[in-house]
Amino acid sequence: MKTMSPSTLFAIFALLVLFVHPLHAATAPDLDDQTRAVATELRCVVCQNLSVADSPSEMAQQMRAIVREQLQAGKSPDEIKAFFVSKYGEWVLLKPKTTGFSALLWILPYVVLVLGVSAALWFVRRWVARKKNAEQSAAPAPVSQQIRAELLRKNVEEPDLEDASAKAQLLRERARLRNELIDLDFDFQSGKLSESDYTGLKQEIETKAGTVIQQLGSLPPEPAAKPAPAGKSRARDVKVNANPSQFRRWQIIAGGTFLMLFGLALGVMLTKSVRPRESENDTMTGDFLTGTNSSSVEVRAALNEGKQAFGNQDFPKAIEAFKKVLAADPNNPEAHSYMGFILVQAGHGDGALMAFDKALSQAPNFPMALWGKGMVLYQDKKDFAGARQILERLLNMLPAGEQRNEIVKVLAEIPTTGGNSTQSAATEKTQTAAAPSSAQISGKITIDAKLKANVDPNAALFIIARPGGGAGGPPLAVKKIDKPVFPLTYSLSQENVMMQGTPFTGKINLTVRLDKDGNPVTRTPGDMTGEYKKNPAEVGTKNVDVVIDQVMQ
Amino acid sequence: MPWRRLAITIFVIAPVLALLAYGFRRDSRYIVSPLIAKPATPFTVTLFDGRKLTLDDLRGKAIFINFWASWCLPCREEARDLEAAWQKVKDKNMVFLGVALQDTDKNSSEFLKEFNVSYPNGKDESGKIGVDYGTWGIPESFFIDPQGRITYKHVGGIRAALVIAKLEEAAKGIVSAQEGKGDYSAVR
């Protein structure tokens, strides 16, 4: 291949540089323009790839003021940029320096481009040359070469030494000439023969061979001429020839797929990296490559939708939205907290506490979850000491303002003595556990034979008792059993009531739900349900058996 | 030898892709600050009690400078730790200085009162001190040795034990190559 001369490479490089860096008119801009010009080249340190000139943040305003002040003091744009670099490092420059190590960033793309274009040209030339060669090899070769190729061809019919037919004699003669030619080649290559002797002897053999091959070709075809080996050989030839083209096709497909995915990935990364930062925990690339799903557009949209629905008290819609958030980001503390508040609204104190604890396990100082947990402990569980501890922790974190005042007010309201401490709650549980069996309801839960195959082994079972007279409304008592094994014997008693102090007596409607996601609030297609066929049942009844026979769509 | 050619292609492309992925994953703000081991920029700050304090006045002592704001949750979380650390070292040749950023006088004063902060605190009126120290996420803490050289930088909340340990290192002029990290709030 003909290589590109250094002068040509230089010309391409110079052209590219000029193309990318057009010369600017040398006018004298005023101070505002100068400030903006410098600020455009500085990165806003609290933004997501925004320049100091474009960012509305207070920090960027302060940085712009410093730029202006330094320009007024007679510093050059380069000196000002150097000042910011000395404070923040080179990442503060939106355009890295063109000297030192950073110069690589400017030069490398052009080098890669030139190399890429050269490589592409080389490949095209090689491809063209190959095609030409292929065409040439397809053209008829000189007669002597054809004879030589035919003579040295492998997979030819072997001569039968005992056969006296004309064909067999010709085949034997061909084999002899073949061996003679091979020996001659060997002698010539090993230097035993001069070139003129070799040429003369070779021509002699080729002439004889030409006659033999011609005579063989003029023989009438034999009906059973062993077509299999020839066919096999042709098939093998075809296979050998087909392999490279198949491989080339595969290469083109793989290369194309790679380029498409690479372009797609680059596009996604670039669009995600040029946007305002969502929070201090947000990353430069958003959710891409970092695994922080919470910042993905879909999750944010669902979260906002949920918050809006929550604000409008449209709880079913809010639940759906938060469920979507939790499906994408199971540890999202904000969604867990909102779920907690929805459970509080529905009177599910225990469920709410679980949701707030889940949020706090991910973000131990998440204010919303602390507030929710503190209030549930105070108002629902009457655990005054626990509530005080949580709310004081929140108070310690919040800056002065309305929220803080509200917490101070609540803390003042919480009695310093009395209430159910964790200790007293435990005692109460022990007492209720020892309550007479008349204050409980018990029975067996089984799965309908048709549904047995559909049971999710990780599902949770909720046994729900609602006050008799209706299937709706908040439950009176709920029991959750993780990964239940059926048939299952259960009992529901005073210790399972949702609101402390509510007596577990009278008639109740008993339903059960085998919940796939274990969340008492959400309803997922595939959740299985069942109810006591003789609802309502009187508390104190035994053998309140339930068969799970429905699947939610 | 098409497979060998493919292997070579992958061998060339894979490092480029890895470099690209690394670059996109990396938060450039965590590239070590150019201020480490350099002389601390001098400044004068007006304290909340009305006095003026200049960094040069503190030369000869190990200095702990903490940038904070009352609206910043991690600043509130670390406030008691900082005061506790100050109580332990105040009789040594060490000094604490708090600098409030992007905050109102009222809120800053309430913050100091709430956490019983007894070491000197002032306000960065124009944000220049913050820029001089390359701040972007608060709380941000700097440790300066008696010769006026920055020995350690910590972005985010810091605990009392680390404050004391790093101050003792600063007193001996020991420079930490790595910056510390904790929960932070981005400055506005």
Q: How many domains does chain B have?
A: 1
pLDDT band at B150 (very low <50, low <70, confident <90, very high): very high
Q: B184 and A280: CB-CB below 8 Å?
A: yes
Q: A269 and B24: CB-CB below 8 Å?
A: yes
Kindly state whether residue B76 falls inside one of the protein's structural domains: yes
Residues 6+ apart with CB under 8 A from B181: B30, B154, B155, B156
At residue B32, the pLDDT reads 74
Report the alpha-carbon distance of residue A183 to residue A172 in Å, rounded. 17
Architecture label for domain A293-424: Alpha Horseshoe (1.25)
Q: A280 and B132: CB-CB below 8 Å?
A: no
Please tell me the distance in Å from B90's CA to the nearest CA on chain A. Answer: 25
DSSP B41: P
Please tell me the distance in Å from A45's CA to the nearest CA on chain B. Answer: 6
Backbone angles phi, psi at A125, to 5 degrees: -60, -45
Which B residues in the span 107-166 are in contact with A, Cβ-Cβ below 8 Å? 107, 110-111, 126-128, 130-134, 136-137
Q: Residue A413: in which H helix or E strand, if any? A: helix A402-413
Cis geometry, peptide bond prior to residue A415 (ω within 30 degrees of 0): no
Which B residues in the span 48-77 are in contact with A, Cβ-Cβ below 8 Å? 70-71, 73, 76-77
Residues 6+ apart with CB under 8 A from B94: B61, B62, B63, B64, B167, B171
**Pure H helices in A190-313:** 195-218, 227-273, 297-311
What A22-31 contacts at long range (C-beta under 8 Å, 24+ apart), as own/partner pairs, is A31/A68, A31/A71, A31/A72
B-interface mutation test, from A280, A290, A370, A396, most B Cβ less than 10 A away: A280
What the block records as the tokens of A552 is 């939610």
Please tell me the distance in Å from B101's CA to the nearest CA on chain A. Answer: 10
Q: Residue A386: in which H helix or E strand, if any? A: helix A384-397
Which residue in the set A57, A244, A289 is minimally distant from B188, CB to CB?
A57
Kindly state whether residue B5 falls inside one of the protein's structural domains: no
At residue A237, the pLDDT reads 45
Kindly state whether residue B22 falls inside one of the protein's structural domains: no
Give bridge partners of residue A25 from the DSSP assignment.
Answer: none
Cβ-contact A498, A458 below 8 angstroms: no
> Within an 8 Å CB–CB cutoff, is residue A269 touching chain B?
yes
3-state secondary structure of B154: strand
- The amino acid occupying position A76 is S
Strands in chain B per DSSP E: 44-47, 52-54, 62-68, 94-100, 121-123, 137-138, 140-144, 150-155, 180-181, 185-186
- As a three-state string, the secondary structure of B107-146 is HHHHHHHHCCCCCCEEECCCCHHHHHCCCCEECEEEEECC
Report the alpha-carbon distance of residue A323 to residue A521 in Å, rounded. 10
CA A132, A136, A140: angle at the middle one, nearest 5? 165
Q: B24 and A400: CB-CB below 8 Å?
A: no
> Within an 8 Å CB–CB cutoff, is residue A62 touching chain B?
yes
Residues 6+ apart with CB under 8 A from A434: none
Please tell me the distance in Å from A152's CA to the nearest CA on chain B. Answer: 26
HSE (CB half, 13 Å, CA atoms) of A231? 4
3-state secondary structure of A468: coil
A401 Ramachandran zone, left/alpha/beta (phi>0; psi -120 to 50): left
What the block records as the tokens of A165 is 């037919």
Please tell me the distance in Å from A260's CA to the nearest CA on chain B. Answer: 14
**What is the arithmetic mean of pLDDT over B8-26?**
76
Report the alpha-carbon distance of residue A301 to residue A321 in Å, rounded. 9
Rg over CA atoms, chain B? 20
Cβ-contact A353, A337 below 8 angstroms: no
What the block records as the tokens of A244 is 């490279």
Please tell me the distance in Å from A359's CA to the nearest CA on chain B. Answer: 17
Kindly state whether residue B162 falls inside one of the protein's structural domains: yes
Residue in B closest to A367 by C-alpha: B73
CATH class of A6-95: mainly alpha
At residue B121, the pLDDT reads 94
Residues 6+ apart with CB under 8 A from A402: none
At residue A19, the pLDDT reads 39
Cβ-contact B66, B97 below 8 angstroms: yes
Q: B6 and A244: CB-CB below 8 Å?
A: no
Q: What is the DSSP string of A534-550?
A: T-SEETT-S---EEEEE
Mean pLDDT by 10 residues, chain A (553 residues): 45 41 46 87 80 84 89 90 88 75 72 85 85 69 72 73 82 87 87 84 86 82 52 45 65 84 76 52 46 57 86 83 83 87 82 87 82 87 85 78 81 76 41 49 88 82 79 73 82 76 81 82 81 86 88 83
Q: Is A373 exposed, middle or buried (0-12, 13-18, 19+ CB in 10 A)?
A: buried
**Residue B63 maps to which CATH number?**
3.40.30.10
Residue B100: pLDDT over 50: yes
Which residue in the set B70, B73, B130 is minimally distant from A365, CB to CB?
B73
What separation in angstroms does the CA of A34 have from each of A72, A498, B101, B132? Answer: 10, 68, 27, 22
Report the alpha-carbon distance of residue A119 to residue B105 in Å, rounded. 65
First-to-last CA distance in chain B? 59
Q: Positive or negative CA dihedral for B122, B127, B132, B135?
A: positive
pLDDT band at B63 (very low <50, low <70, confident <90, very high): very high
Which residue in the set B17, B33, B77 is minimally distant from A397, CB to CB?
B77
- Give domain limits for chain A: 6-95, 143-221, 229-279, 293-424, 436-551
Residues of chain B found within 8 Å of residue A63, distances taken between Cβ atoms: 127, 131
Residues of chain A found within 8 Å of residue B131, distances taken between Cβ atoms: 62-63, 66, 84, 87
Please tell me the distance in Å from A58's CA to the nearest CA on chain B. Answer: 5
Report the alpha-carbon distance of residue B70 to residue A363 in Å, rounded. 21
**Pure H helices in A190-226:** 195-218
Residue in A closest to B17 by C-alpha: A262
Count Cβ neighbours within 10 Å for each residue of A407-433 and write b for 16 or more, e otherwise: beebbeebeeeebbeeeebeeeeeebe
Q: Positive or negative CA dihedral for A214, A219, A225, A227?
A: positive
What the block records as the tokens of A451 is 């549904």
pLDDT band at B138 (very low <50, low <70, confident <90, very high): confident
Asked if A6-95 and A293-424 have one fold, the answer is no
Report the alpha-carbon distance of residue A249 to residue A243 in Å, rounded. 10
Give bridge partners of residue A472 from the DSSP assignment.
Answer: none
Report the alpha-carbon distance of residue A386 to residue A145 in Å, rounded. 100
Task: Give the distance, in angstroms, between the CA of residue A243 and the centroid of all CA atoms in the same chain.
Answer: 35
ipTM computed for the complex: 0.84
Quote the domain boundaries for residue B119. Answer: 29-186
What separation in angstroms does the CA of A325 have from each of A295, A305, A361, A519, A550? Answer: 11, 10, 17, 14, 27
Residues 6+ apart with CB under 8 A from A409: none
Give bridge partners of residue A532 from the DSSP assignment.
Answer: A546
Kindly state whether residue B57 falls inside one of the protein's structural domains: yes
